[in-house]
Structure formats: structure tokens, C-alpha cells
């Protein structure tokens, strides 16, 4: 039986996936150097300020990079940042051909990296596995073009659309495999967001645990963001005992004594405009973007989800559906808010995908028009 030919761009994308969770606000990039059909060097983006994927792969390849082909998941940078431009490293290494999955929309790059390589006589190809490359860097792509974080709404519900019983119990609607995947999601995003009700009722930790060594490392934990207009977060909340940082968004003007108590508990308190104690979520996303938060995983609850969807602030949906029936007129559904008045006005997902996690089913997709 003949061996299946190696798909070098697919390999580069797998390497890019290894970088997720460690590179923000830089993109997660993978690179493979191939000489005479044999892999000569592999690389993926290191932490900010360290070498980029292309340079790592070229260093590994050494002299074998001359006359080789480079497969890279994003257009090589062509400007001086915290590291020298990758395009010059590629040219100096003597690479003869470069395949890029996706052009970099960063205004400092955006086709200029491609142009520099072509002007140096290097053959270039663009577009292999573009959709997969976009998915890996969906947070970076939105952030670099808008200055705003990519917002993912993640929730788990029963077959009848409930996220808890009428008494508020929600442990556990989803199974072990789904919950482990959620820790991976926390591992790759910059921030995790919940509403005050989720903190008061569920007292979650909101940390990434057991994910490739990230769990427990303070500087690599996602920022925990609590939307809490009235400052109801208990000082005993478990989020304050977890490694990493917690930001509580409150309605201004806010009680100075409450703010000081929350700060002593370990939180950063940010006062934002609000209407009837409901935080201006668009302003909150601007604040997060200014802090170079490129992606936010929203984990609840019903009211926060409703506000985000009503305001068109959600980019992607991850809905876990468990094969159970909860029932109850008073049991909450996943999404609150105003909603739509007609089914024809309902929000639609594009690129919908179905995955299985044990007995649970995950439906994921992007909000149409996003």
C-alpha cells in the first residue's frame, strides 16, 4: 500500500494550533520548511517577543533551507516589531518558494510581506486551507482589524433548552468530555466573561485547569471579567482565590466603599456607563480591546447572553446540548433579553458544525454577517 503524501500546509496548521493560548496579541502561526520532499524544519509562534514560526523553522532547517519550500499559515511579517521581519529571514535563508494559507490583515503587513518575497524572486502561493487558517486566528483577525475582541457565546442546555432547573441547579448539564473541552477553550482565549448572577449562584472558578501546563500559571490564566452593575459579587467568591486577574465591570457612579472592598479581595474595578444598572457592553468590549484582549469566552448567564445577542455583539456560538429533559415553567433558557418578534428575524449561524463530546452534542457556528 502506498503511503499517503504528506500535506505540509495541514502540518503547519497543526503547529499553529499548538501556539494557541500563548501568543496573544500576536497571531498563532505554524511553519514547515521542506527540502526535496523531506521536512527540514518545524516552527510555531513563541510567546510575544520571542521568535516567530518562520524563524524557528528556518533555524531548525539551517543550510537545508536554501532552495527549500516554506509552508506558513499566515503571511510573514515584513516590519520591525519586537523581533526583526520574517520576510528578510526567509530571503536571507535562500528559500525558493513560499506557500501562505492566509494574508495578514494587519495594516503593517497586508500584502507587503507577499510583495517583498516576490520582489526577491521567491515564488509565492496563497490560499491553501484558508478557512481553517482563519478559524485558528479568528480572534486575532477581528482584533487587528477592529481593535475589538472576538466574542464567543458558550452555553450548555438540555434538549428542552434549559440551562438550570427552576431552583437554579445546573450541575451538571453537560458531561465530563464537554467540560474538559471548556477548559481547553479557556486555555486559548484571553478572557472569560460572566454576569453577576452566575457568580452569586454558581460560584465558578473561571480558570483553565489541566491544559498543557497552563492551569495554575498566573500570567497565562485568562482574564476573568464579571459584569456586575450593582457590585453584588461576594468577597468570598472563588474567583478571588484563583491564579490570574479578575476585572469587575460596575455601573458608574459606584459606591467607593464597595469598590475598595472588591479591590482588597483581589479585583480590578472598572466603572462604565450603564442604564438601570445594565453595563454598556459595547463600551466594555472597547475597554478590553484597549488592553489587547483579542478574544472573550462568555459563559453566562441568561441576562448577559440576552444583552450581547440583542446588541449584535456576539461573533461565534458554541452550544452544548445534553440528552436530558429538565422542564419547568420557571426554569431559565440559555438566552434572555428582548429577542426577536418573528421567527423570520431570528439570528442565524453560518458555517454550522456538529461535534460529539460523549453523550453531548456541540453545535457551533458564526453569526451571519459577522
Residues forming the active site = 54
For the chain, how far is it from start to end, CA to CA, in angstroms? 45
Q: Is the dihedral of CA 279, 281, 286, 288 positive or negative?
A: positive
| Cα separation, 115 vs 113, whole angstroms | 5
From CA 162, how far away is CA 321, in angstroms rounded? 10
Spatial distance between the Cα atoms of 198 and 297, rounded to a whole number of angstroms = 14
Burial of 40 (0-12, 13-18, 19+ CB in 10 A): buried
Alpha-carbon torsion 20, 23, 24, 26, what sign?
negative
Question: In the Cβ-directed half-sphere of 205, how many Cα atoms lie within 13 Å?
Answer: 13
The whole-angstrom separation of Cα 365 and Cα 179 is 19
What DSSP string describes 177-238? Answer: HHHHHHHHHHHHSSEEEEEHHHHHHH-------SSTT-TT-GGGSPEEEEE-TT----TT-G
Rounded CA-CA distance 79/96 in Å is 21
Alpha-helical regions (H) of the chain: 8-19, 53-61, 86-93, 112-119, 130-136, 138-146, 176-188, 196-202, 256-265, 281-290, 302-310
Rounded Cα–Cα distance for residues 63 and 65 (Å): 5
Amino acid at each position: 500500500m502506498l503511503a499517503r503524501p504528506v500535506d505540509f500546509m495541514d502540518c503547519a496548521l497543526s503547529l499553529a494550533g499548538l501556539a494557541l493560548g500563548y501568543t496573544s496579541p500576536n497571531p498563532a502561526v505554524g511553519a514547515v520548511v521542506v527540502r526535496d520532499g523531506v521536512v527540514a524544519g518545524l516552527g510555531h509562534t513563541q510567546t510575544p517577543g520571542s521568535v516567530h514560526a518562520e524563524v524557528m523553522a528556518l533555524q531548525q532547517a539551517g543550510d537545508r533551507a536554501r532552495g527549500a519550500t516554506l509552508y506558513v499559515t499566515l503571511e510573514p511579517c515584513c516590519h520591525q516589531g519586537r523581533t526583526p521581519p520574517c520576510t528578510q529571514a526567509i530571503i536571507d535563508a535562500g528559500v525558493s518558494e513560499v506557500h501562505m494559507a492566509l494574508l495578514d490583515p494587519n495594516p503593517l503587513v497586508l500584502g507587503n510581506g507577499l510583495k517583498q518575497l516576490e520582489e526577491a524572486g521567491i515564488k509565492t502561493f496563497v490560499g491553501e486551507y484558508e478557512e481553517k487558517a482563519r478559524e485558528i486566528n479568528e480572534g486575532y483577525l477581528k482584533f487587528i482589524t477592529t481593535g475589538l475582541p472576538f466574542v464567543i457565546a458558550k452555553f450548555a442546555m438540555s434538549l428542552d433548552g434549559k440551562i438550570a432547573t427552576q431552583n437554579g441547579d445546573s450541575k451538571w448539564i453537560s458531561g465530563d468530555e464537554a467540560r474538559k473541552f471548556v477548559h481547553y477553550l479557556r486555555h486559548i482565549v484571553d478572557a472569560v466573561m460572566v454576569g453577576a448572577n452566575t457568580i452569586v449562584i454558581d460560584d465558578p472558578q473561571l480558570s483553565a485547569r489541566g491544559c498543557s501546563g497552563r492551569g495554575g500559571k498566573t500570567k497565562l490564566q485568562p482574564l476573568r471579567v464579571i459584569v456586575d452593575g450593582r457590585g453584588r459579587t461576594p468577597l468570598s467568591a472563588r474567583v478571588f482565590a484563583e491564579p490570574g486577574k479578575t476585572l469587575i465591570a460596575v455601573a458608574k457612579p459606584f459606591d467607593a466603599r464597595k469598590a475598595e472592598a472588591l479591590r482588597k479581595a483581589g479585583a480590578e474595578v472598572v466603572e462604565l456607563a450603564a442604564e438601570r444598572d445594565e453595563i454598556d457592553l459595547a463600551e466594555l468590549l472597547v475597554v478590553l480591546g484597549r488592553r489587547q484582549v483579542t478574544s472573550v469566552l462568555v459563559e453566562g448567564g441568561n441576562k448577559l447572553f440576552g444583552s450581547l445577542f440583542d446588541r449584535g455583539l456576539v461573533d461565534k456560538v458554541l452550544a452544548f446540548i445534553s440528552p436530558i429533559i429538565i422542564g419547568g415553567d420557571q426554569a431559565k433558557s440559555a438566552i434572555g433579553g428582548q429577542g426577536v418578534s418573528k421567527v423570520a428575524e431570528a439570528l442565524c449561524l453560518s458555517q454550522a458544525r456538529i461535534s460529539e463530546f460523549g453523550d453531548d452534542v456541540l453545535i457551533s457556528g458564526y453569526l451571519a454577517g459577522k
